Amino acid sequence: MFQTQLSNLSALQESAKLLLNTFPEDRVFAFYGAMGAGKTTFIKALCQELGSMDYVTSPTFALINEYTTNNGFVIYHFDFYRIKKLEEAFDLGYEDYIYSGNYCFIEWPEMIESLLPEGVVEVRIRETENGVRELEAKRV
Q: How far is it, in rounded angstroms, from Cα 1 to Cα 19? A: 10
State the pLDDT at residue 25: 97
Q: How far is CA 81 from the centre of its chain?
A: 13
pTM of the model: 0.95
Write out pLDDT tens, residues 76-108.
999 999 999 999 999 999 999 999 999 999 999
**49 closest CA partner among 29, 79, 78:** 29
State the pLDDT at residue 9: 83
Averaged confidence pLDDT in the chain:
95
Domain boundaries, the chain: 2-139
Pick the CATH number of 2-139 from 3.40.50.300, 2.130.10.30, 3.30.1330.60, 3.10.20.30: 3.40.50.300
Q: How far is it, in rounded angstroms, from Cα 47 to Cα 29? A: 12
- Residue 61 pLDDT > 90, yes or no? no
State the pLDDT at residue 134: 97
